[in-house]
Amino acid sequence: MVLREKDLPRAERAALAADLRPILAEAGGTLVVAGPDPLGGDAAHLPAAGPYPPPRLGLVGRSCHDAAELARLTTEDYVTVSPVYPSRSKPGYGPPLRPARLGELIRLSPVPVLALGGIETPGQVRACVEAGAVGVAVLGAIMRAGDPGGAAAALTIPFEPPRTRHDREEVSRTGLRPTGPTEGSGLTAPSGRGRPQPPTAGAGKRR
């Protein structure tokens, strides 16, 4: 998670960072602070403009937008490349790279790339992953959602194993949920009552 809130006074921002770190730690996450000051932590995300070289911390990322900025990287651990799609959070930000150009920039990057900008659907996430991104960074799609947890979960589907991903996509498409293996369909109606099963080989034959 990246803490922005750059308009806050440093003391308030540092207090917010201190509150967030243990919450994220319980979930196995890391708080990354936007800007060169990690606010008492060990992770920072830097703008493309600098500073260069980056501070020596446990985790350092940088925002990049083109090949020239990627070429300036030194000891960073990862980068975000943006904007991949038109961004509702930043109207006019761009032009959007689209997955094809994203893939070209990923091949130029010496460090892992997170795709950023206008990513709102599992299909867009999948396109970024197929282009070579190790992950995505999302803001508006979750903050605007009526169910932020559900929105975040939906965006993780492309990162799941194929079987799990297929089941969750079926739930999203049909409203049916997966059950344990059966001879027929692996889905049941939301009420839990089984759907009619198709005939199996030899069904109905008497011996």
Q: What is the pLDDT of residues 35-44, one digit of tens each?
A: 999 999 999 9
* Model pLDDT for residues 156-165, shown as the tens digit of each residue: 998 887 765 5
178 in a domain, yes or no? Answer: yes
122 in a domain, yes or no? Answer: no
The number of distinct structural domains making up the chain is 1
21 in a domain, yes or no? Answer: no
Mean pLDDT of 106-130: 96
2 in a domain, yes or no? Answer: no
**45 closest CA partner among 93, 114, 117:** 114
Please give the distance of CA 142 from its chain centroid, rounded to a whole number. Answer: 10
14 in a domain, yes or no? Answer: no
Q: Measured between alpha carbons, how far is 148 from 1 in angstroms, rounded to an integer?
A: 15
Helices (H), 156-200: 162-174
Token pair listed for 34: 């936007």
Q: pLDDT: is 178 or 110 the higher one?
A: 110
* Model pLDDT for residues 141-154, shown as the tens digit of each residue: 999 999 999 999 99
Contact 14, 21 (CB under 8 A): no
* Whole-number pLDDT of residue 160: 82
84 in a domain, yes or no? Answer: no
* Model pLDDT for residues 164-174, shown as the tens digit of each residue: 555 655 555 54
Helices (H), the chain: 10-26, 67-71, 98-108, 122-131, 140-143, 148-155, 162-174
pLDDT reading at 138 higher than 50? yes
Signed CA dihedral, 51, 54, 55, 61: sign only: positive
62 in a domain, yes or no? Answer: no
* Whole-number pLDDT of residue 188: 28
Domain that holds residue 168: 160-190
Residue with tokens 């900025």: 69
113 in a domain, yes or no? Answer: no
pLDDT band with cut points at 50, 70 and 90 for residue 194: very low
